[in-house]
Structure 1
Amino acid sequence: MAARRGRKKTQRRRSKPKVNLLNAAQTALVANVVTKSLFNANLQEFITGTVNGQYRPGSDGTSVLTIPELAGFTAGGWSASKVGGSYAEGSNALTVMASNAGRNFSPLLMGVIGIPIAFKVAKQLTAKPLINPMNRGLKMVGLTGVKF
């Protein structure tokens, strides 16, 4: 067996990846802009199907789309014939999304492009010397897997 050359490298410990709150907030804001522009419902309404405090998938207006509505749920329960939503004659989910996108194109474009730019600038303005005390405070509280 050949002799080993040089020193044996020591194994480095890897810490678990931390949850970055700024990245999570940016993702949530962009997702909210996209759902508001394409489905005419904010992110919470789109996921839960509760629009204006009432659970009425499919009967909340033609331009409002939610996940329960697209999955075939109605106020009365689930129906296989309602999968994909129910719309006026000659209309479907894609035409409704295209119509919503056309009406909300400017906010969609501003949100999808502007939010990441704003977050990038904010991250540069709040560089490490300012954020280190906040991260130390989070560690003292016990939130070790979270960082700013």
Structure 2
Amino acid sequence: MGWKDWANKNLMKFNKDKCKVLHLGKHNPGVQHRLGSTQLGSSSVERDLGVLVDSKLNMSEQCAAVAKKANRMLGCINKGITSRDKVIIPLYSVPVTPGILCSVLVPAMQKRCGQAGEGPEEGHQDDQRTGKPAIGGKAERTGFVQPSEKKA
């Protein structure tokens, strides 16, 4: 069964101009592919399910994009704060590690903290049933957090 038959059977249409080939692996010769009579272009990076994947299958592009987005958000928050002497609601209710957490760390965090939707362990310090407010307190400072930065 050809791709046209498969597309018709599944009631799908292909936009040949938007189709690209991502050559994966170190020793991939990068052969030119065709879809019908149209030659498909190559791409070095593609976004799939919101994650950037490159031909080497490393996450450097994804981490850079996440860090850029986080720094943009921090910049907007920093601009929006008029007085730094007043009490500021912290952005996190639990301590976070310095630096930017990127999507490659999610499985490790799920293993340590549990899957999304699971309840906290009985008597855990972050448990909302302890009577402590989830958000509150003073912010020491605002700004961009870098991995080499130490708390003052």
Structure-2-length-normalised TM-score? 0.22
Higher helix share: 1
TM-score (norm 1): 0.22
Higher relative contact order (CA 8 A, sep 6+): 1
